[in-house]
Amino acid sequence: MDIYLPIAGLSVNIVVIILLGGAVGMLSGMFGVGGGFLTTPLLIFYGIPPTVAAASASTQVTGASVSGVFAHMRRGGVDFHMGAVLVVGGLLGTLFGAVLFELLETWGQADTVINILYTLLLGGIGGLMAKDAWQSVSAKRSGKPVAASKRRHHPLVASLPGRWRFYRSGLYISPLAPLILGFLTGILTMLLGVGGGFIMVPAMLYILGMSANVVVGTSLFQILFVTMSSTMVHSLTTRAVDIVLAIFLLIGSVTGAQIGARLAQRMRPDYLRLLLAAIVLIVALRMALGLGWQPDEIYTVQFL
C-alpha cells in the first residue's frame, strides 16, 4: 500500500509509516516521552527530507502527548503553574529555534549541528539514565537501598534571583530556571522535531528537583504546547509539515501509546528505565557513527 506525500514529494508505504508511528507511540506510552527523538531520524533514514521529517514529527508528538496529559491531569499529576512558565519559555524557544534553523540552513551546517546535538544530548542523557537505572536495579538485587540524594536542586538554580512558590512541585525557586529550561527545549523542538521529554524529565528531576509524581505530567503538558507551537511555526516558515505523513504517523502512534501505557503497568519500572536508556544510547551511537566514521551521503543538494 503506497501513498504519495504531497509535501515530502514522494510516495511511501503506509504500513511502514503506521508501524513506525506505532512503535514510537508504544515507547512514548511506556516511558512518558514524546518519542520524536526516534521518529525524526527514522523518517530521514526512510528517505523523507530532513525538514519535512522534523516538522511532521512535531505534529505527531502533539497527538501522542494529548491523551497522556489528560490521564495525568485526572490524577493531579500536572503542575499548571510550573507548566505555564515552561510553556512560555518553550514558545520563545521555538521562535528563536526557527531563526536559528534559517541561519544554519543558509550556512549549510543544519544537518551537522542537528547530528551533533542529537549525539551529545542522547548520549549524555542515555548514559545518565543507564547509570541511574543500573544502580537501582543492582541495589534491588543486593537488597541495599540506594542512598537518597542530599540536595533537592542544582546549586545554580538556587542562585537565580526572585523566587516563586510552585506548590505541586514542592518548590520555592526562581521562575527563571524553568523559563530557561523551557526555552532550551523549545529550540530543540524546532531543530530536531523532538518534544524534549527525554531532556525535560531528567532536568526536572535532577536540576529543578521537582517532586517525581508531577514530573511526567508537567513535562507532557509542556511538550503538548511547545509541539503545537512548533507545528505552527513550521507551517509559517519552512512550510514543511506534511499533513498526510503526520496523520498516518498519528494513527500508529496514538494506538501504540495506549498499548504502551498498559504494558508499562506490568513491567518493573527499573527495567523499563534501563530499556529506555538502551534505546536512547543506540540512537546516539547511530548518530555518532554518521558524524565520526562515515556519513550516509558525502554530497547533499539544497534547492534555492
Partner 1 sequence: MIARLLLILALLLPLPAMAQSASEPKLVPDVSQRNINIQSRFTGAELLLFGAIIYPRGVAPSGQIDVAVVLRGPTRPIIVREKQKVAGIWVNADSIDFRSAPAYYAIASSRPIEKIVDARTAAIYELGLKRLQLSPTGEIETREVRRFTNGLVDLNQRDGLFAEAPGEVDITDQVLYRARLTLPSSVPEGKYIAETLLIRDGRVIMADDSVVVEISKTGFERFVTIMAQDYGLLYGAFAVLISLFLGWFAGYVFNRL
- List interacting residues with partner 1 (CB under 8 A): 2-4, 6-7, 9-11, 59-60, 62-67, 70-71, 108-109, 111-112, 116, 228, 231-236, 239, 241, 243-244, 246-247, 250-251, 254-255, 257-258, 290-292, 294-295, 297-304
Residue nearer to partner 1 on the CB measure, 118 or 166: 118
What is the C-alpha R_g of the chain? 19
Q: How far apart are CB 204 and partner 1 at their closest, in Å?
A: 22
Helix (H, G, I), strand (E, B) or coil at 264: helix
Residue nearer to partner 1 on the CB measure, 3 or 267: 3
Q: How far apart are CB 177 and partner 1 at their closest, in Å?
A: 28
Q: How far apart are CB 62 and partner 1 at their closest, in Å?
A: 4
Residue nearer to partner 1 on the CB measure, 2 or 102: 2
Q: How far apart are CB 299 and partner 1 at their closest, in Å?
A: 3
Q: Which residues contact 96 (CB under 8 A, 6 or more apart)?
A: 183, 186, 187, 190
In one letter, which amino acid is 219? S
CA angle 155, 161, 167 (to 5 degrees): 80
Residue nearer to partner 1 on the CB measure, 111 or 270: 111
Q: How far apart are CB 151 and partner 1 at their closest, in Å?
A: 36
Residue nearer to partner 1 on the CB measure, 35 or 175: 35
CA-closest candidate to residue 185, choices 238, 152, 234, 229:
229
Nearest-angstrom CA–CA distance, 263 and 261: 5
Which region holds residue 219: left if phi is over 0, alpha if psi is between -120 and 50, else beta? alpha
